[in-house]
Amino acid sequence: MAEAVFVLTGAGVSAESGLGTFRDAGGLWRRFDPMRLATPEAFARDPAEVLAFYDLRRRGVVAAQPNAAHRALAEAQARLAARGGRLFLCTQNVDDLHERAGAEAVHMHGELLKTRCQACGGIHAQHGDLGVDEPCPACGRAGGLRPDVVWFGEMPKHLDRIDEALRGSDLFVAIGTSGSVYPAAGYVAEARALGLRTCELNLEPSDNAHLFDLVRYGPASEIVQEFFR
Ligand code: OAD
């Protein structure tokens, strides 16, 4: 295995933990309109509706457990670190299942179990439902807290760190992502241009499947373990 691995995960890695994906049959964005629920404009127009949507999703995350794919990634990260390499784990997921499996992950689309205060910028843990008038634990302002997730039209987080990690890697592995949301969807092309080997682990070919040197298809709980064994 290469010593510097960049892993990009998407909703497919948490699907077997019971958390829905976005674009598969029955996926979240097939049942709900993201423009009504996942934009800053939607939050300004109807904060109660947006918060209620995220309350439901947060309850799902709190009730879910990491699966074999999360655990295999955590083990691979520890193993590589122990022999002087590294596995940089970049996730588009807003759940905390990578962390609960023991991995360190960079959440480019934010984290559902955190809130951000629009007044002071403070970020705080949030495991229960979030009320519209809940005061910020830091500045005390009521009505300014939002889920610390990236909405459509907003800039993903940690882009500099991610770019640096990609540049320092030998192998790029995309797991459980459809390759339809940028900038993450563009990382495989960037990786190729940088000379990294590229690998896709997914239930079925993604939109970017033709850009990967190696592809493995099946449930993440099986193929991730096999790949990182
Ligand atoms: P998608 O729902 O677009 O894609 C999920 C991918 O996981 C698909 O390619 C499925 O084939 C695959 N999949 C499903 N079940 C799987 C399993 N058991 N094992 C392996 N693969 C499986 O989700 P993402 O690509 O993560 O952004 O979506 C990217 C972003 O779009 C999300 O982070 C979210 C969404 O809008 C924001 O909310 C900003």
Q: Same domain for 200 and 160?
A: yes
Are residues 197 and 161 both part of a single domain? yes
Predicted pLDDT of residue 37? 94
Please work out whether the CB of residue 89 comes within 6 Å of at least one atom of ligand 1: no
Do 204 and 224 belong together in one domain? Answer: yes
* Strand order, beta sheet including 86-91: 106-107, 86-91, 4-9, 171-175, 197-202, 214-217
* Single residue among 122, 149, 176 that ends a domain in this structure: 149
User: For residue 28, how far is its CA from the centre of ligand 1 (angstroms)?
Assistant: 10
Q: What is the CATH number of the domain that holds 25?
A: 3.30.1600.10
**Active centre residues (catalytic):** 109
Instruction: Indicate whether 91 and 136 sit together in one domain.
Output: no
Extended beta strands in 62-185, E state: 86-91, 106-107, 110-117, 123-125, 145-149, 171-175
CATH code of the domain in which 10 resides: 3.40.50.1220
Residue whose C-alpha is closest to residue 8's, from 218, 214, 124, 165:
165
Q: Are residues 85 and 178 in the same domain?
A: yes
Mutate to test the pocket of ligand 1, among 22, 61, 217 (most ligand atoms within 8 A of CB): 22
Paired residues of 183 in beta bridges = none
> For residue 1, what pLDDT is reported?
52
Ligand 1 atom closest to residue 29's alpha carbon, by position in its atom list? 36
Q: Is 181 in the pocket of ligand 1 (CB under 6 A)?
A: yes
Residue 171: per-residue pLDDT: 98
Query: What is the position in ligand 1's atom list of the atom closest to the CA of 94?
Result: 33
Q: What pLDDT, on the 0 to 100 scale, is given for residue 2? A: 57
Same domain? 119 vs 170:
no
Q: Which atom of ligand 1 is nearest to the CA of 179?
A: 25
Residues 168 and 207 in one domain: yes
Domain boundary among 101, 121, 149: 149
If asked whether residues 79 and 123 sit together in one domain, one would say no
Residue 85 and residue 6 share a domain: yes
C-alpha dist (Å) from residue 44 to 47, 51, 73 = 6, 11, 38
List the domain range (segments joined by +) for residue 124: 20-63+112-149
In this structure, the answer to whether residues 6 and 34 fall within a common structural domain is no
Q: Is residue 84 domain-shared with residue 145, that is, in the same domain? A: no
End-of-domain residue from the set 100, 124, 149: 149
Whether 48 and 93 have beta carbons less than 8 Å apart is answered as: no
pLDDT for the residue 94: 98
Q: Does the beta carbon of 122 lie inside 6 Å of ligand 1?
A: no
Whole-number pLDDT of residue 60: 97
Q: Which candidate, 213, 203, 170, places its Cα nearest to that of 7?
A: 170
Render each residue's pLDDT in the chain as its tens digit; 229 residues. 559 999 999 999 999 999 999 998 889 999 989 999 999 999 999 999 999 999 999 999 999 999 999 999 999 999 999 999 999 999 999 999 999 999 999 999 999 999 999 999 999 999 999 999 999 999 999 999 999 999 999 999 999 999 999 999 999 999 999 999 999 999 999 999 999 999 999 999 999 999 999 999 999 999 999 999 9
Which residue owns the Cα nearest ligand 1 atom 2? 22
Give the count of domains, the chain: 2
The verdict on 161 and 188 lying in the same domain is: yes
